[in-house]
């Protein structure tokens, strides 16, 4: 696909022009003619979006149903998806939706050795950024204790929608010493018992799950998550349950039941207790915040190299979340970094808890 069809997408209200420090680019706000949402045209090149990967909830049938050949298994990291690329002399990080992410763009030189993009300016590194110091999602892997880390999981080329083959990707990762997602080997579709054991082990390590990539030209993919991920997602977000679709939670409850059913009830352990705690303890925290501070919020702290990027991040978040929900707390120098602190105010939960704790009636 050449850049021109994307310009057609503008006419169909499926693409928008966006500004960035280096000029302007085109961003696909919806899928269009086979290109996923988040695809961009920048400096005359197409950077394809990273499509969503379908999920299997049963290994025994799902592996057979999805894969016609052995597949590579990699860790699915609980963070946010970026595409890192070089445009002229600038390194940029694109979010899933195709925005320039001011945080990841700022921190890219800390997170990986960027010489790969000097040597191969046509490459795009697809990666997950995770950790307590990131500005977007609620959770993070327990093994990242501070700030953020980046994990490359795919490499693409400009103007091309497919990914480099596994061997080629791993040669680049090893050659440049790039941080990458953990690699668990190559499995055949019959090996569902082995995959089940792998997922059980990953659950115990607090890992989100796996992405499976067929070792074949069609490169078909599917993902599968652990019980840990289901419970941790609930624990991490239930304090603002009214600000999320209720289906978010019920989907995770259902995935958990299916996971345990396949692992065998003997592996139930204390998951009933953990699930109940995830729901209750997160809500007790929100109730306490509402009583003490009359609002339900979460404070994020993110390190920046350049304070201008901190300001760009706030602008970016306010654009995405609505002006009232992001409250800046301050930007302070700490060592070599500027630390931006801001609150995400959960407006619906704040309103609901204020109403009911004040004695208001609810009709439902």
**Which is closer to its own copies, CB of 202 or CB of 241?**
241
User: Would you say 343 and 298 are in contact if contact means Cβ atoms under 8 Å apart?
Assistant: yes
Residue with tokens 């569902």: 192
- Token couple for 109: 């030189």
**Which is closer to its own copies, CB of 91 or CB of 188?**
188
**Which is closer to its own copies, CB of 42 or CB of 271?**
271
Does residue number 358 form part of the binding site for its own copies (CB under 8 A)?
yes
Return the residue of 201, 280, 319, 329 that touches its own copies, per CB under 8 A. Answer: 280
Sign of CA dihedral 232, 59, 221, 252: negative
Residue with tokens 């310009």: 7
Give residues 185-244 in contact with its own copies (rule: CB under 8 A).
222, 238, 241
Does residue number 119 form part of the binding site for its own copies (CB under 8 A)?
no
- Please choose, out of 62-70, 75-83, 133-141, 153-161, the segment that lies near its own copies by the rule CB under 8 A: 62-70
Return the residue of 3, 18, 29, 66 that touches its own copies, per CB under 8 A. Answer: 66
CA-to-CA distance for 203 and 233, rounded, in angstroms? Answer: 13
Return the residue of 29, 90, 166, 274 that touches its own copies, per CB under 8 A. Answer: 274
CA-to-CA distance for 350 and 288, rounded, in angstroms? Answer: 11
Work out whether strand 23-28 and strand 71-76 pair parallel, antiparallel, or are unpaired.
unpaired
How many other CB atoms sit within 10 Å of the CB of residue 317? 20
CA-to-CA distance for 18 and 127, rounded, in angstroms? Answer: 22
Looking at residue 221, what DSSP letter applies?
E
| Min separation Cβ 242 and its own copies, Å | 8
CA-to-CA distance for 207 and 230, rounded, in angstroms? Answer: 11
| Min separation Cβ 55 and its own copies, Å | 5
| Min separation Cβ 319 and its own copies, Å | 25
Looking at residue 242, what DSSP letter applies?
G
Does residue number 261 form part of the binding site for its own copies (CB under 8 A)?
yes
Does residue number 57 form part of the binding site for its own copies (CB under 8 A)?
yes
Which residues lie near its own copies (CB under 8 A)? Answer: 52, 54-58, 60-66, 222, 238, 241, 245-247, 249-251, 253-254, 256-258, 260-261, 265, 268, 271-277, 279-280, 283-284, 287, 356-364
């Amino acid at each position: 696909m050449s850049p021109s069809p994307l310009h057609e997408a503008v006419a169909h209200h499926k693409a928008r022009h966006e500004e960035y420090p280096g000029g302007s680019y085109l961003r696909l706000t919806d899928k269009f003619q086979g290109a996923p949402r988040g695809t961009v045209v920048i400096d005359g090149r197409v950077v394809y979006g990273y499509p969503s990967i379908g999920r299997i909830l049963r290994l025994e049938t799902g592996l057979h149903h999805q894969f016609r050949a052995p597949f590579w298994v990699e860790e699915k990291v609980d963070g946010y998806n970026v595409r890192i690329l070089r445009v002229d002399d600038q390194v940029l990080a694109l979010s899933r939706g195709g925005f320039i992410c001011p945080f990841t763009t700022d921190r890219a030189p800390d997170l990986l050795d960027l010489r790969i993009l000097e040597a191969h300016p046509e490459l795009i590194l697809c990666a997950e950024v995770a950790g307590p110091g990131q500005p977007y999602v609620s959770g993070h892997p327990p093994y990242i204790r501070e700030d953020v880390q980046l994990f490359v999981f795919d490499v693409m080329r400009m103007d091309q929608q497919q990914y480099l083959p596994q061997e080629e990707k791993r040669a680049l990762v090893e050659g440049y010493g790039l941080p990458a997602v953990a690699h668990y080997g190559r499995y055949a579709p019959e090996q569902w018992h082995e995959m089940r054991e792998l997922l059980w082990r990953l659950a115990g390590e607090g890992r989100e799950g796996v992405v499976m990539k067929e070792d074949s030209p069609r490169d078909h993919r599917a993902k599968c998550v652990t019980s840990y991920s289901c419970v941790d997602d609930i624990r991490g977000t239930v304090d603002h349950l009214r600000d999320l679709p209720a289906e978010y939670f019920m989907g995770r409850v259902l995935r958990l039941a299916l996971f345990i059913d396949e692992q065998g009830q003997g592996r139930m352990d204390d998951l009933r207790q953990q699930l109940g705690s995830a729901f209750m303890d997160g809500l007790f925290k929100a109730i306490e915040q509402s009583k003490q501070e009359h609002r339900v919020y979460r404070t994020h702290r993110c390190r920046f190299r350049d304070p201008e990027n901190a300001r760009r991040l706030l602008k970016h978040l306010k654009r995405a979340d609505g002006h009232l929900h992001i409250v800046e707390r301050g930007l302070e120098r700490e060592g070599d970094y500027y630390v931006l602190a801001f609150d995400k105010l959960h407006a619906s939960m704040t309103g609901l808890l204020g109403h009911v704790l004040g004695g208001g009636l609810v009709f439902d």
